[in-house]
Amino acid sequence: MLNFMLDSLEPFIDAISILQRFDHDTADLEGSPTMFSIIISLASSPPSLLALQIMPQFFSHFSCDQLHYVNVPIAEVATIISNMERDGFYSFVFFLLANQERIAFAFKRHSQQRRWDTRQLKSEPLEPKKVGEIDYSSFVSIDLEEFRSSVITLCAGRALVTITNSEISFDVPYINREIILSKEKRECIIGGFEEGEKVISEITLFPIKLLNSSRLKRLWIFKTNDSSVIILVAPTGLWQ
């Protein structure tokens, strides 16, 4: 079972509005006892996933007994919640029904209201997408304005990233363009990488729409435990 409750619709609308920038009709919902995620696959090279991850503390109630993974019409979800807020509803409960073939919402206008207005949408159970476990022991942190400027300068859809204990570089070999950010020059913060250690991976620079959000201040870059994938994390600062 997966269900959660929010006492205000606005924070959740703000959260999913970030994903709506990418004009996807569907998204994958992943629920676990420690996290709720909305995931979309980007049509980019290399193949990339964009995930909005929300911790249980964000919700006024959160319950999940095991890992659940379903595909849902996220555009319809956003429309329903926005319309209900416009019509004066202020709180809602989300349910993933037992067979995982439908999701349900229940809305009410005020705490004394006994009757809930409900909506249901189809969902489709899926196999979870695995991108590897994040290694939080090492990281790179970049001011978002600095990173946004670098993406604009590179003017490419993807870049080869190299991280050492002193710098991070973004290289686009086919147009002979490279940007290096140095820890010594305070252009970035690097922690946890040993001297002589080097991590190399290719990343997409496609989600520039995400980087234009005024909520985001810094970008954090982590590697997976096996160093095979680089993960970009942008805390949104959303809370109730």
Residues 6+ apart with CB under 8 A from 79: none
- Rounded Cα–Cα distance for residues 3 and 16 (Å): 17
- Rounded Cα–Cα distance for residues 78 and 123 (Å): 15
Which single residue is written with the structure tokens 């009757």?
Answer: 115
- Rounded Cα–Cα distance for residues 160 and 3 (Å): 40
Tokens read off for 186:
């305070």
Owning domain of residue 222: 134-233
Same-domain pairing of 88 and 146? no
Q: What CATH number is associated with residue 185? A: 3.70.10.10
Instruction: Enter the pTM of the model.
Output: 0.76
Tokens read off for 80:
């329903």
Same-domain pairing of 120 and 149? no
28 assigned to some structural domain: yes
Same-domain pairing of 121 and 6? yes
- Rounded Cα–Cα distance for residues 179 and 198 (Å): 17
- Rounded Cα–Cα distance for residues 124 and 144 (Å): 36
Same-domain pairing of 161 and 74? no
Q: Is the peptide bond before 46 cis (omega within 30 degrees of 0)?
A: yes
Of 101, 125, 149, the residue that ends a domain is: 125
Same-domain pairing of 35 and 67? yes
pLDDT digits (tens, 9 = 90+) for 79-122: 999 999 999 888 899 999 877 889 999 998 876 777 889 999 99
Same-domain pairing of 193 and 95? no
Same-domain pairing of 119 and 156? no
Same-domain pairing of 100 and 28? yes
Over the chain (240 residues), the average pLDDT of each successive run of 10 is 89 79 84 90 74 87 92 92 90 86 90 82 84 81 89 88 96 94 96 93 73 70 77 62
Same-domain pairing of 50 and 71? yes
Number of domains in the chain: 2
Tokens read off for 31:
């629920």
Share of the chain above pLDDT 70, in %: 89
Same-domain pairing of 23 and 110? yes
Residues 6+ apart with CB under 8 A from 31: 2, 37, 64, 67, 68, 69, 96
